[in-house]
């Protein structure tokens, strides 16, 4: 194998800047997806039929079509949907957020259903209103149990974010690819990109474990 | 304090309560006993509308809780409930279990809520457990915390749904002691229980339910020494 990383040293700062872009997309999309996931999961367990239906249709659409298609529909479709062309960066956050909201809602729903029904009764018997009960009593217990599944979702979000390359967002992936094109050699910069993604995921995993330990204090 | 008029509860075709009427006066301690499946837990759970009555009326402090317009949440603040399986909030410490509802529902300040909570923990003998999480407690301790949690809302009525049925035998006594001293404070209490000795000693009245019907309603001495109905006689024979 004929590897020469030295010629890419000058391009390293350029590639590394992509970390910030990727991180921004992942964090913002993650927050959006999480908030959306909570709302949708509450819709799904609601006794109001129309809310169940809305959340189910939403999930079925976003799980049932490719993410790269959703990304392109939102990016290229924006002039027709909202009347002007949105930034690739915005389209990336939107599509990833909306997409992971569908997955996260299922994770949270499972978590809520796994909390003992008695917890809800105990809160009701104390006169705690539904919103506070969910927020203070049910969701914290649900989140503790689903933390590993949520970490999975955020990890795959981090890796899958590489497809924003297709609409021209300057993330790690696209920068590595460009550096490869400039030097007529793709293998090394792509290996560098791979290493960066891997290290990001490892960091995320460690953070997740620390968070889980913190939440397991009460055990 | 609680007035129940012709209470019915059906689960689909199954009739669990078949028209129960009775009154629980202020300061009265009522033991609700009967064989499993007699509807006694459902009866109790109707009183704070954890179960929705199918028909009939329940008045708690003159408020009709079966009326859609009544703010059930408000009524529940005055009706404490203790469950067979405790249902303490596992992610909160003992103290936080006691202060949560007074702070979030009644709007007490943290200081006020903690003052009440610590007094109650002393009453149930668990002051030193204030900062522990519930998983670190024994069953009896958990139930005492659960009683204190319900009392922290300073209710007028306490409902107990088989509070000692999930406990190891050696822990039953400590919970019954707490309930006994609570009864002596003049608290209105409705207790679903299998502890016949306790019912006899502490209750002012015994309600005997069988098959969703209130078969007997009598003072404990009368009920335990001279039950009128055949069903109660059989039941008591099996219990002894």
Indicate yes or no: CB of A141 within 8 angstroms of CB of B76: no
Considering only CA atoms, which of A58, A28, A29 is closest in space to residue A42? A58
Judge whether A133 and A124 are in contact, CB under 8 Å.
yes
Indicate yes or no: CB of B153 within 8 angstroms of CB of A127: yes
* B38-56 per-position pLDDT tens digit: 999 999 999 999 999 999 9
A127, A140, A218 ranked by CB distance to B74: nearest: A127
pLDDT for the residue numbered A4: 86
Residues of B in contact with A140 (CB under 8 A): 91
Work out the mean pLDDT of chain B and round it to a whole number: 94
- Nearest C-alpha in A relative to B45: A125
Calculate ∠ Cα A151-A153-A155, nearest 5°.
Answer: 70
Rounded Cα distance between A191 and A177, Å, is 11
Q: What is the ipTM of this complex?
A: 0.91
Indicate yes or no: CB of B76 within 8 angstroms of CB of A144: no
pLDDT for the residue numbered A109: 97
Give the DSSP per-residue string, B100-157. Answer: HHHHHTT---HHHHHHHHHHHHHHTT-GGGTTS-GGGS-HHHHHHHHHHHHHTT--SE
Residues of B with CB under 8 A from a CB of A: 48, 50, 73-77, 79-81, 83, 85, 87-93, 100-101, 104-105, 133-135, 149-150, 153
pLDDT for the residue numbered B240: 67
- Nearest C-alpha in A relative to B75: A127
> Can you give the pTM of this predicted structure?
0.87
Rounded Cα distance between A196 and A204, Å, is 12
- CA separation, residue B47 to residues B44, B95, B161, B164 (Å): 5, 27, 12, 20
Indicate yes or no: CB of A122 within 8 angstroms of CB of B87: yes
Query: How many CB pairs below 8 A link A and B?
Result: 67
Indicate yes or no: CB of B149 within 8 angstroms of CB of A126: yes
pLDDT for the residue numbered A169: 92
Q: H helices of chain A, where?
A: 12-45, 49-64, 67-82, 88-114, 117-125, 130-132, 139-160, 172-183, 187-215
Instruction: Per residue of chain A (219 residues), give pLDDT as tens.
Output: 788 888 888 999 999 999 999 999 999 999 999 999 999 999 999 999 999 999 999 999 999 999 999 999 999 999 999 999 999 999 999 999 999 999 999 999 999 999 999 999 999 999 999 999 999 999 999 999 999 999 999 999 999 999 999 999 999 999 999 999 999 999 999 999 999 999 999 999 999 999 888 888 777
Indicate yes or no: CB of A136 within 8 angstroms of CB of B153: no
Using a CB–CB cutoff of 8 Å, tell me whether A131 touches chain B: no
What are the per-10-residue average pLDDT scores of chain B (240 residues)? 94 92 95 92 94 93 90 93 96 96 96 96 95 94 97 96 93 94 95 93 94 93 91 87
Measured in angstroms, the CA of A136 and the nearest CA of chain B are apart by: 9
Indicate yes or no: CB of B83 within 8 angstroms of CB of A219: no
């Amino acid at each position: 194998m004929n590897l020469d990383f030295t010629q890419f040293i000058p391009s390293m700062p350029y590639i590394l800047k992509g970390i910030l872009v990727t991180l921004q997309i992942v964090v913002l999309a993650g927050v959006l997806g999480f908030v959306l996931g909570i709302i949708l999961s509450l819709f799904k367990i609601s006794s109001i039929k129309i809310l169940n239906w809305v959340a189910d249709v939403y999930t079925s659409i976003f799980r049932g079509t490719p993410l790269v298609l959703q990304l392109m529909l939102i990016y290229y479709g924006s002039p027709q949907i909202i009347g002007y062309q949105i930034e690739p960066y915005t389209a990336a956050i939107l599509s990833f957020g909306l997409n992971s909201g569908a997955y996260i809602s299922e994770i949270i729903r499972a978590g809520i259903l796994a909390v003992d029904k008695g917890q809800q009764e105990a809160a009701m018997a104390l006169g705690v209103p539904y919103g506070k009960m969910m927020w203070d009593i049910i969701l914290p217990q649900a989140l503790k149990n689903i933390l590993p599944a949520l970490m999975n979702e955020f990890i795959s979000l981090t890796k899958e974010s590489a497809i924003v390359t297709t609409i021209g967002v300057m993330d790690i992936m696209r920068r590595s690819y460009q550096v490869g094109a400039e030097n007529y050699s793709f293998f090394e910069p792509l290996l560098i990109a791979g290493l960066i993604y891997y290290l990001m995921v490892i960091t995320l995993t460690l953070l997740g474990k620390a968070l889980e330990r913190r939440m397991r204090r009460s055990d | 304090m609680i007035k129940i008029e012709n209470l019915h509860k059906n689960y689909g075709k199954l009739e669990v309560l078949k028209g129960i009427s009775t009154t629980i006066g202020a300061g009265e301690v009522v033991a609700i006993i009967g064989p499993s499946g007699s509807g006694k837990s459902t009866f109790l759970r109707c009183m704070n509308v954890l179960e929705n009555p199918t028909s009939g009326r329940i008045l708690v402090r003159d408020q009709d809780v079966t009326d859609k317009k009544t703010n059930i949440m408000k009524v529940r603040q005055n009706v404490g409930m203790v469950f067979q399986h405790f249902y303490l909030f596992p992610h909160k410490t003992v103290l936080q279990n006691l202060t949560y509802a007074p702070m979030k529902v009644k709007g007490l300040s943290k200081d006020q809520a903690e003052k009440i909570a610590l007094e109650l923990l002393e009453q149930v003998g668990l002051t030193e457990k204030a900062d522990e999480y519930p998983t670190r407690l024994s069953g009896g301790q958990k139930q005492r915390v659960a009683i204190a949690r319900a009392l922290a809302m300073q209710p007028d009525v306490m409902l107990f749904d088989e509070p000692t049925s999930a406990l190891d035998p050696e822990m039953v006594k400590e919970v019954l002691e707490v309930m006994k001293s609570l009864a002596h404070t003049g608290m209105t209490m409705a207790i679903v229980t299998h502890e016949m000795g306790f019912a006899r000693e502490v209750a002012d009245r015994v309600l005997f339910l069988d098959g969703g019907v209130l078969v007997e309603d009598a003072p404990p001495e009368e009920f335990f020494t001279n039950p009128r109905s055949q069903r109660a006689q059989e039941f008591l024979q099996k219990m002894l």
